Amino acid sequence: MTTRQRIARLVPLLKKFPGLGATSARELEQWIALELGSLDALETWKKYGPSQTRAVAPKTIYHVLAGNLAVSGQQSVLCGLLLGARNVVKLPSRGGDDLICFIEMLPAPLRQLVTVQTEFDVEALKSADAVIAFGRDETVAEIRAQTRWDQLFLGYGLQVSVIWLGAVKKVTPALVAAVAHDICIYDQMGCLSPQAIFLEPGSKTEVFGEALTEAMTREIARLPKVERSAEEFGVIFETIDTARGLGQRVWTARSATNATAGAVILDPKPQFRFSCLHRVIRLHEVKATQLPQALDVVRGKISTLGLAGKLTPTLEKVLLPLGVKRFCRVGRMQHPPISWHHDGRPSLADLVRWVDRD
Amino acid sequence: MFTTPAERTAWRQRIFGPLDDAAFNAAALELFAWQFAHCKPFQLLAKAREVSPKQIKSWRDIPAVPQRLFKEATLYSHPIKTATTVFHTSGTTTGEPGKQHLRRIDLYNATCVEGAKRASVLNDTQALHFLAPSPLAAPNSSLSAMFEFWREGWGNDDSQFWVEKGHLQLERLRRQLEQTVDPVGVCGAAFSFVHWIDTFSQADPLVLPEKSWLLETGGFKGRSREIDKAEFYEALAYLFGVKPDRIWNEYGMCELSSQAYARGPQGMHRTPPWARVLVVDPSTDREVAVGEVGLVRWIDLANVDSVLAIQTLDQAVREKDGFYLIGRLSQADPRGCSLTAETFHRA
């Protein structure tokens, strides 16, 4: 099966799984060409300086997936399938249903390239050419420790995303709707989900907080209902009541049944704090120049920085040393193009090896 | 209120005396009104939830402070400089301990001893052995303080703390227990007993004198080694030579002054009369039905110096006259005796 044939077979799934980040064959083709130099780099020799080269995909990839968000697992398997690799998928202990659904919907020739496991299989891991692991940093480190020295390993550990709005002098419906979307769509379960919002001191922060909560209520009503566990409710209310006990302003978003479905907390400390997730987010006032201190606790761990305005050279100078890997407009944080680098690295190119000839 | 020894003694006599529903309710509402007036974070939380002492008629409506707030605010109902004792929770993933400030240690002392006595944990003067550091070595540990009160009240001269310079002295304790002819009590954090199991799993089991007992507290969440409770009690019963129903679990925390106890591997937890537990559904904030799972909320009339109502992230099954503790929510910070035992602080 050629790359083009695999793409043709994958296209019907793209529309069913919009979180993958591509909707057409053309986007997949462009992505492969961007990363591998040409669409048929896996099938033909290409000019490479004075010589020729071609890409060789790993024969087998062992994927260890996390349960927080199905889309990251789907994308991982998609990468393997595009390259024509055989994929052994270790499902997360919880939250693997959407991934199984994705795999079951694959056309038969591609479905044959995927094996699902519920238990971690060290032998399968060691016999794979490449290993892709998602999870907590400790989990990724443990998996890496079990790989062979000559095995290709791609680890995706903890990453967080934040929003920088700058000076908000006017709170527009478009702005709060965009931010509410980024917060709500995946229940803040992914590394692209914003966990905190920073604004310049002097902004209309309280107006923004209230309007954002109303926008979140609207967004929650629009999105499919999230079935909350007792655990999730427990940590949500713990966070809200802790903020209340500290005298912080708390606005709550409501569900269709008028239950608490999210919250915005105005935190006077100009420092990032991890959210309890599940549509709970803190607002912090901080000067742009103080962002390095505010984000120091997640230095090197920032996936996406959502912006309300443009990425100015001044902002770039402040934020690049923090290890930010993506900048994008608010409202688009959860929908990056499929070609964007994953934690700063190319998703496909990192999986292949190159064979040269004269 | 609660400032002079006489006021505190009077309160202790009131809550230790006959306490029917009406008396419990009256005392709880009175204590809430006083703490509302004197503990700022409690007042802020109550106001944000639109609850005030004048509005509510039932202790069930007192807003509960999330346990985490003890890590982020000072929950103390007196001027801070009057605190004579500060207990710390064990470290968590964030490394910030929660702190319980006490104006005087008197009520904590009394409730620790009286609660254990009423639960029939403490019955006779005997040798009490503690797999914990002494209060001198761990002045901020409420567990060590409680054990010391037990030792003072019910321990004989052979009683001892068996952590020295941060290390459990298991071999020495074992030699001592091998020679004992009278019933003893061995108490400690659950993870300390796991160390015992790991150390002596291949050794001959002890045969402690009849009526000896063990008391473990906390759980294993957040540590690499967790053991099923039935398996844990079976191993302890075998290695110490006691019946499984001679093993107690104590459920308490540094932020509280009272404790609940359960006996044996299937034991149900019960609180003393001056403390009650509501098992609540976090999505509705209402008590779950009997037999259903929810989160543990304490109302502790002995917790006068901070707040009487505390919402935990501990899961339990509500029963008619008690609850079965399941454990801590998986999303919550690892806390409790796993870390307690490792760091020898009390959770």
pLDDT in tens, B185-220: 999 999 999 999 999 999 999 999 999 999 999 876
Q: Is residue B97 part of a domain?
A: no
How far apart CA B93 and CA A137 sit, in angstroms, is 14
Q: Is residue B99 part of a domain?
A: no
pLDDT at B336: 28
pLDDT at B220: 62
Q: Is residue B103 part of a domain?
A: no
Residues carrying CATH 3.40.605.10, chain A: 3-157+343-357
Q: What is the pLDDT of residues A5-14, one digit of tens each?
A: 999 999 999 9
Residues of B with CB under 8 A from a CB of A: 40-42, 44-45, 48-49, 63-69, 72-73, 281-283, 285, 293-295, 311, 313, 315, 329-332
Instruction: Please answer yes or no on whether A246 and B73 come within 8 Å at the CB atom.
Output: yes
Best CA proximity match to A61, nearest among A120, A108, A114, A97: A114
Best CA proximity match to A326, nearest among A73, A335, A80, A21: A335
ipTM value, please give it: 0.90
* Chain B residues inside the 8 Å CB shell of A235: 313, 329, 331-332
Spans of chain B, pLDDT less than 50: 93, 222-224, 331-347
Count up the domains in chain B and report the number: 2
Amino acid at B108: Y
* Chain B residues inside the 8 Å CB shell of A280: none
Interface contact A238, partner B, CB < 8 A: yes
- The model's pTM is 0.91
pLDDT at B227: 78
Interface contact A49, partner B, CB < 8 A: no
Best CA proximity match to B129, nearest among B223, B218, B240: B240
The helix/strand/coil state of B257 is coil
For B295, the closest chain A residue by CA position comes to A234
Q: Are residues B60 and B118 in the same domain?
A: no
CATH number of A3-157+343-357: 2.60.120.380, 3.90.480.20, 3.40.605.10, 3.30.70.3340?
3.40.605.10
Asked if CATH classification 3.40.1190.20 holds for the domain at A160-329, the reply, yes or no, is: no
pLDDT at A258: 86
pLDDT at A119: 92
Domain range holding B204? 108-269+336-342
**Partner residue facing B41 (CB), from A235, A238, A245:** A245
Best CA proximity match to B194, nearest among B217, B166, B213, B177: B217
**Mutating which of B47, B283, B307 best tests the A interface, going by the most A Cβ atoms within 10 A?**
B283
Q: Are residues B239 and B133 in the same domain?
A: yes
Spans of chain A, pLDDT less than 50: none
**Partner residue facing A242 (CB), from B63, B66, B329:** B66
Q: To the nearest whole angstrom, how far is the Cα of B239 from the nearest Cα of chain A?
A: 33
CB pairs under 8 A between A and B: 73
Alpha helices in chain A (DSSP H): 3-16, 25-36, 70-83, 97-104, 108-111, 122-127, 137-145, 173-184, 205-222, 230-245, 291-294, 313-319
pLDDT at B328: 74
